[in-house]
Amino acid sequence: MQMFARAGNLRYNRLKSLGGEKMREKVFRDPVHNFIRIDDPLILRLVDTREFQRLRRIKQLGVANTVFHTAEHSRFSHSLGVYEIARQIAKHMEQFTQPSDELGVGVWDPSERQVLLSAALLHDLGHGPYSHTFEHIFKTNHEKYTQDIILSPETEVHQVLAATNPELPNKVAQVIAKTYPNKQVVALISSQIDADRMDYLLRDAYYSGATYGTFDLARIIHLMRPVQAGIAFEQKGMTTVEDYIVSRYQMYEQVYFHPVSRGIEVLLTHLLERATQLYRGEVSSQFAAPNFITPDLIPLFEGQITLSQYLDLDDASILENINLWRHAHDQVLSDLAKRFLDRQPLKSLEITDDSRSHLPEIRQIIEAAGFDVRYYTAENDSFDTAYDLYHPNNKNAKTQIEILHPDGHLVELSMQSRLVQALRGKTYGNARYFFPREMLQIQTTDDLMTPIYQEFQQHIKNGQIV
């Protein structure tokens, strides 16, 4: 025990001692940005913290690697990429630290660089394993957890920030919460065209093998101008901004909303729901909690998890338990675990307004085939907008993109671009109904389930419910 305490103290002292050192530039090789350069001792100390290193063990795209087999990249690499884009932006903004002759251009405060780079690096700290599926099941909020990690005196991240400047943890947390007074910094971390989105589009496109998410990052940064309300883009480069908007639209359509990936997510959702209900005694079963759950998940299932316990969780934590559940006595849990681990996603059909009324009948057919519809079916809606105007009263309102004209006045992007105007406010994606793949199997004369399968398949035409 003393050995572990001594190791922890040595780690903390090492992180702390770097504060007064001058350092040479440290370079990370990166397939998206080629090089990620760290020339600030604070950023390097933050990278070395326990909380940031944990992001190596959380995939950026959750279960998407079941469809795009090379999409194995982590939130660690994404967060480093966001830092690198923010570093390049901060360098670009250095030319605007004094009032400019350029009409409409504001002033960038160089003292904000430290806050900007820290927030860029740390913006995803609070993500749990299988991020968005995890949040849905356990009602967590990764942005709130990110703020808690930054503000808690118990975390290495907080200690490193506070050792540099006692006010720095609060400032960085305010950027994450979008309440920081400097709107320019907030816009660079969270807006419709920010360092976060630009990195994940480029990175996810690279690792998924898609070509949809590519755009001219260097050109976009070159076009950025600080204005009083945040960030604007020079009119002469509007085509580059349009290209970014279209790239984002294509990535959501082709990668993020992929129906097979969603089918795996539905499986994972129902799997975690079943395990939680079994642990809490909400359904009857032979499930034995001590034998089929690891200690790190118990606080989560009990709904009383501390920040330290939350930080113990990563993708491996969930996978370890799913491997155990493969052998569970509970047949539903065991079967869902096998389907998830062996990549047997639920199949799906698109739901239209006309076909939604058929869903109750379809559920009855699936139930007649022996499947519990609570765990083997789901309605899943995945929608987004390519670009939207700013609606301040809406939850998670999106800041609009401003184009700076040569005479100094600002015009909202869709008022300037016919292309973006055509996309503005229009949702894309679809609603799908997920069901067991067995319902589509080829019938045989000696199969007792054949009449049920035939009845189900009569409701399908051209990938839709009829």
Q: Give the domain CATH number at 200.
A: 1.10.3210.10
Q: Which helix (H) or strand (E) holds 29?
A: strand 26-30
Mean pLDDT of 108-131: 96
For residues 359-388, one letter each, b for 16 or more C-beta atoms within 10 angstroms of the residue's C-beta and e for the rest, the string is: eeebbebbeebebeeebbbbebebeebbbb
| Residue 414 maps to a domain | no
Q: With bands split at pLDDT 50, 70 and 90, how would you rate the model's confidence at 243? A: very high
In this predicted structure, the answer to whether residue 8 has a pLDDT above a threshold of 50 is no
| Residue 91 maps to a domain | yes
| Residue 429 maps to a domain | no
Q: Are 410 and 227 a contacting pair, CB within 8 Å?
A: yes
| Residue 322 maps to a domain | no
3-class state of residue 27 by DSSP: strand
CA of 124: how far to CAs of 15, 53, 55, 99, 118, in Å? Answer: 21, 12, 8, 34, 11
Mean pLDDT of 236-248: 93
Burial of 295 (0-12, 13-18, 19+ CB in 10 A): exposed
| Residue 8 maps to a domain | yes
pLDDT higher for 56 or 13?
Answer: 56
Mean pLDDT of 48-56: 98
Place of tokens 């940005």: 33
**CA-based nearest residue to 79, from 112, 35, 26, 118:** 118
Task: Note the pTM of the prediction, 2 decimals.
Answer: 0.90
Alpha-carbon 96 to chain mean position: 32
Query: In whole angstroms, what is the distance from residue 54 CA to residue 309 CA?
Result: 13
In this predicted structure, the answer to whether residue 452 has a pLDDT above a threshold of 70 is yes
Mean pLDDT of 76-90: 98
Specify the number of domains making up the chain: 1
| Residue 173 maps to a domain | yes
What sections of 50-194 are H helices per DSSP? 50-53, 75-93, 113-122, 131-138, 142-151, 156-164, 168-177, 183-189
Mean pLDDT of 17-44: 84
| Residue 11 maps to a domain | yes
| Tokens linked to 390 | 């700013």
- For 19, the domain range is 2-217
| Residue 435 maps to a domain | no
**CA-based nearest residue to 27, from 49, 14, 43:** 43
The pLDDT of residue 239 is: 94
What sections of 104-167 are H helices per DSSP? 113-122, 131-138, 142-151, 156-164
- Dihedral of CA 210/74/120/141: which sign? positive
Percent of the chain with pLDDT over 70: 89
Query: In whole angstroms, what is the distance from residue 424 CA to residue 413 CA?
Result: 10
Mean pLDDT of 161-189: 97
Percent of the chain with pLDDT over 90: 65
Query: In whole angstroms, what is the distance from residue 324 CA to residue 322 CA?
Result: 5
Query: In whole angstroms, what is the distance from residue 199 CA to residue 82 CA?
Result: 6
